[in-house]
Structure 1
């Protein structure tokens, strides 16, 4: 059975704005077909492609920079200015001044997995580009836009502080956490700005000063775990703190860690990318400094600290649990298990194999234990078991492959994890949801 599904927004009902997306259903085991239609008149002036550029549909995980032609929209014209909207093409009643005139539009059909949820935006790319290297792609991302008008789609701010549409297939499961509808102001300890009250500090973590925000939920039991969130400012902007307040039993303290260098010259994206990698790619000093910060902030909490992050942050959450299993347990979202540390070791190479925790990130024996002098003062005790959960998108191929590899490697070392795939790509819209869901699960334990 096949058919077309599309929810008309109020704007569409009165004819003011054409439909942007429509879904066509194939057989039960087949993907959806998503038609995206963009009128040229709805492209912001600064993003107009001109003769040297084309419009790329950036649908997370579905279209990728390794195959730019697969996301290029076809440019066409409707000589009548009015087209039947049941197939997702342009509808207009003349409110935009185009009725009866030739209307230029861009259109593409995409095959999208059932249950998909992800971010949609549009990117002007150089004409004829086949594969975008990283510098080219980063430049393109800076030019990304959402079209003008109201389409009945949620607009959210992503991890790069860019506005995107949230797209969901008709059979996508409902979200539990629906925060992030509007960009939020800077985290602040001032009351009345729409954000929960936070305490901002600058502390040294790893090799340099870092901005952190400390939040104490009013209903958080004093004995409950502390939550440490990497890329914390961006999750705060997405509504994390307000959502945590809605939990039945919140953590006692939330510590949100930023990774951008602290200075007076404004944000430096290149420096922030480098510092974030230095912090989060299996950095023992950063781990130990975060642990010291937790102990200073919540000295009476004895429960293990929950560390949560996405991408590099997910890798760090697993590393913290491996390095200090008695102190941390991890929530790993789309973890970058493909990455190596400065010694070329992969994350599973750091699985504890001895008894007492040593300073280099691997659990080691004491000198007395090595010599066989297991006296009452130097008894061998079982090391705490590293504990972390893993979620990844079915459309983030490199991450999914590295998670599968890591699962086997961990199992051979006595650590069993059961990764849970979600129906999307390397996707903030899933991370904000799953961070809260996994946090509630861990706190319930």
Structure 2
């Protein structure tokens, strides 16, 4: 399955790889430069940091492992270099990914970048500025109360601080990733497992791979991180898909489950909108002009992907005028595309009809997919029984033969396949509705 979005140009995989390589090379180059720049000042930075974390006034900090201190210096310089080039990283990531993202995916990525940066700044300032000075001070007082000689390893102090900040950033980004996905409509009970697999997998991989020296503590942190993300996003993980609330999937004649969506397309104002009280067995999504708006077509494709739609029914037209790229994308995701051509029905009227809603409901009931044609009468009869139709016109002709036909406001049009005429007539005779049958001239 692959989608070719209209604002994205089609190019071979190698071209994408070349672009990715160029962007990564640029990032590595600037990260290296900033790391080397910070390396010249790293001793002063670490000295200031240790003075802030040091819980005692006298010299109780010691360096027991000079080799690890050298590693800490390089790691701290690399972290500062990465943070310095973070704006460039975000800009390059956005520029590379944006053309291939759907609308809600673009919003999610943009919000995640903002939330990730804010969580990183908050984690650094709160952990270094408040949390660890308080923890170290409490521990030092305990040592003094027990009359112990306080000696602290500077390498271990910095390692713990860095590990905690790293864990906080990863967990915060995981929580924001799930919550923002729910806010923009991408996360619900249908897509919950998809999101769990990716977010939890990345979080666990980063924690276990980056904290090997902490052993069992890293495993415990991973479990707590997963639980925190799950609890924070529970509201959206259990939510029903918003567009399908109150609607159920349809079982077709072969026992397959069909997820159907009707797109109420106004055809740029030419087609009347569907009535709000329309009794449709599937959800309805409103659009102004699918043919003229690439953003609306992207939104419909996004809904089809998120909700695994099997059928898209266009209200305004027969779906033939839609761009071939949209038809191809629907086909590639396994979603059939067709229409009920309300514009054609409107062309038969010069005056508004009080039976417009029942006429549309009859049109939907006559769909032969996903329902079988043999049960059309079972879907039509309940609609006719509950209506006050004065005259029913049953048109069995080809669409080309009905061109120019005009019907009065009190008349209701029912377009029907000729092979089903006798069976339907047989069941509606007892309703007492005056019926006119239009057939093609042989």
TM-score class, shorter-chain normalisation, is under 0.3
- TM (norm. structure 1) is 0.19
TM-score, normalisation: structure 2: 0.19
Q: Which has the higher helix share?
A: 2
